[in-house]
Structure 1
Amino acid sequence: MNPFSLRALVLALSLAFAASAQAQPANAKPPLDTRAGPTQAAAAAEDAAARARRQPGDHIAVVVNQDVVTAGEIAQRTQRAREEARMRGEPVPDAETARQQALEALIEDRVLVTYARESGARVDEAELDRVVGNVAAQNRLNLEQLKERLKADGVDFKRFRENLRDQMLTERVREREVVGRIRVTDGEIDKHLAEREAAAAAKAPINVAQILIPVPSTASETERSALRQRAERALARVKGGEDFAAVARELSEDGNRAKGGEIGLRPADRLPDLFSQAAASLSPGQITPNLLVSEAGYHVLKLLERQAGAAANQVTETHARHILIRASEKVPPEMAVTRLREMKRLIESGQVKFEELARQYSEDGSAPQGGDLGWAAPGMFVPEFEEVMNRLDLNGLSEPLQSRFGFHLIQVLERRTKEIEPRQLRDQARAQLRERKFEEAYKEWVKDLRARAFIEMRDNSGS
């Protein structure tokens, strides 16, 4: 079982009980798990609580294998889905659409739970006790206080505990069986590594100089022809042996004219595609054989320098920390962003240290460590988090950003390049390819289980 998936589940249970109090640090590392994030796990936890608080007057809507879905559960999930869409600023589905989606999701949940119970997987009492204890501790409660909180919310503790066991079993079986369905061939690994090497070469720093003859968008055909002839003469002069920098200072009309057209050393993928593609076929000192044409005008390009890119067996690891605030009914998205912006202002002004705010306010398992996420290799965090992190300078603070886990404030502390042994490199590639295939394999697994399940619709009226 993926440990971060279990952490996400524990986190979700914590969040389910924190709705009536200030949110407390949770035992999860949000950006790590791209498959079982707190949004899905929170839904599972709330459903577990809903099942534990079933009212005597509730009635069965669907029978799924040896379990049931009640009308009350469908209504609760329908309401929650519409509220979450409203909080995210998305179109709110109409009541019937939301109800059908809720019904399908609950049937899927029961199919998985009943299969997990019959699969032979086990969660022993000591392990379940530890998870329940974690839920209490994360909400600054002892076990008796947790029971009282549940009782006040109309939740039967024993039933909730068993529902929690079901969710843990489901997660365990899901990881085992879905991963077992995924096949990654040596050919796929070879292709992945070749693409990675090409991507590394594309990021190799290069230094180019240009002569730019701009063409106004309003220029007539006659004017365009005259400007092209001027650019052709510049190209002929530098190809004939004249100093490129001197010709650039004389004729070029770009911002680097005073420096002989030199743009400066930068990764090739941060240059215009027109430049990086043209430079790819040049050796240092060479000039493009023909004019380059863009919306800006006519360009003559010279490659001044090309540095070696990162080797395919090297990765850049990042040591970062973050503060996470989750949106909720009490903390809508705009409030979460405002809070993080104020934290950023306090940190940058030196009034408060980053780690102090993280310990006090971050809703993440890294909070006790001041938000420290440790060293992370590429692909360890979800893309929306990693993209922003990778653009930050050392010790720089990001603007508040949203991921599937909530809203973050990120700071990069260190970066390092680390070599990987060939076998480790292939293992890493295999893991990345498995991750890409996981979602599709999961959907196929659920589809197969559902096809074999006994499902009896008793009440589909929503009454």
Structure 2
Amino acid sequence: MKNTFKTLALVSSLLVGALTQAHAKEELLDRVAAIVNSGVVLESEVHDLFTSIKLQAKKNNQSLPSDSALKTQVMDKLINDSLITQLGERMGVQVSDAQLDQTIANMAKENNLSLTQFRESIVADGLEYDKYRESIRTELISGEVRRNSVRRRIFISPQEVENLLSVMKEQTNNDIEYHLGHILIEFPTDATQEDMTKAKTRADKVIELLNGGSDFNKIAIASSGDANALKGGDLGWKNINEMPTLFSELIDGKEKDTIVGPIRTGLGFSIVKVLDIRGRQVVEVEEVKSSHIIIKPSIILSDDKAKAMLQDMLDKIEAGEADFAELAKEHSEDGAALKGGDLGWADPSTYDSAFSDALATMEVGEYHKPFRSSFGWHIIQLNGRRMVDVTSQMSENRAYQILYNRKFGIESARWIKETRDEAYIEIFEQEESDD
């Protein structure tokens, strides 16, 4: 099989003849940088992401590691993207042009720019807008596949929720947030004692460099095996309860610029730095109250048929010939069917991206035409919107979400590691460029 893949790579990398008036002239179109199961990573993709990161670093006045170290991290990300995208294709995860346009419109709005201004800013940064647009599609698909794949690995017991609620009620330091940086020095899945010793030696060396004043962002990009490596290891702002338990016990009460570690985890040795400290920010989130009917395509029920069934239901609802809740009880294919499709109040960001994007376009009382998510075909009824202050909310939902986010980060890292371990990956030596 390996030889077959090598042959494919060589064929994919052949020079294509471009005819001129006088004679045929060979022109290099692209090369395969890596084979990832049934897909490939092209050198042009490596070059584009590499260039984009360097442009952003220059714009933000950030230091970067050597080009070879950066390209290694870029290749790792593109391999992960390829694996996840292939999984997405098998799962039927899709992001339509309409969903993509809505996401980009939201990004422009968050930056207080019109769509035209946003596009111009992308081009001004030296990026091709069409390629940037497709990279957003890839990120949306990757995020959805990751959420769907990791969600089923997470179990949170009622006792865990009760325990966290008790801790939160007794805390006096819940008004402090820490901006954290993280570097993960990995060891293999079935690590030997020698593997762990080598990883520990590397982690100790990283600690030594950081204590000597080396740039955290630069070392994270060069050395970290964490998913946030290309972001300089940035974990964002978190209070004590939102951190992994191993981190919170060591970070609680520490001052800015404190470095802790190496911390042994199931994936390797973690090194954490307190980049900054602030008082807890007031956080408001919008919650929506909605109901839905979902029909899941199958071998005997095509996508077109599922969509048509829902459109017929919606026509009857809007004509006053049928009731949404009764149709949901009769036809919807999930646990909410018994409640007439009622999903209750929820933060829309916790839903499938296609579902949350659809909700974002709706007015209260409105129905949404049939659309496809990674779970199946839906119609939605939006029943309400409200803003909720979640800063110091000590509800069961808040505690559950904190526990979920903690476990999601850990399980997400395990999941992608296992996915890579099971994949066929072959990386080809790249030609030197003028980057």
TM range (shorter): 0.3 to 0.5
Q: Which has the higher strand share?
A: 2
TM-score (norm 1): 0.35
More RCO (CA 8 Å, sep 6+):
1
TM-score (norm 2): 0.37
Higher Rg = 1
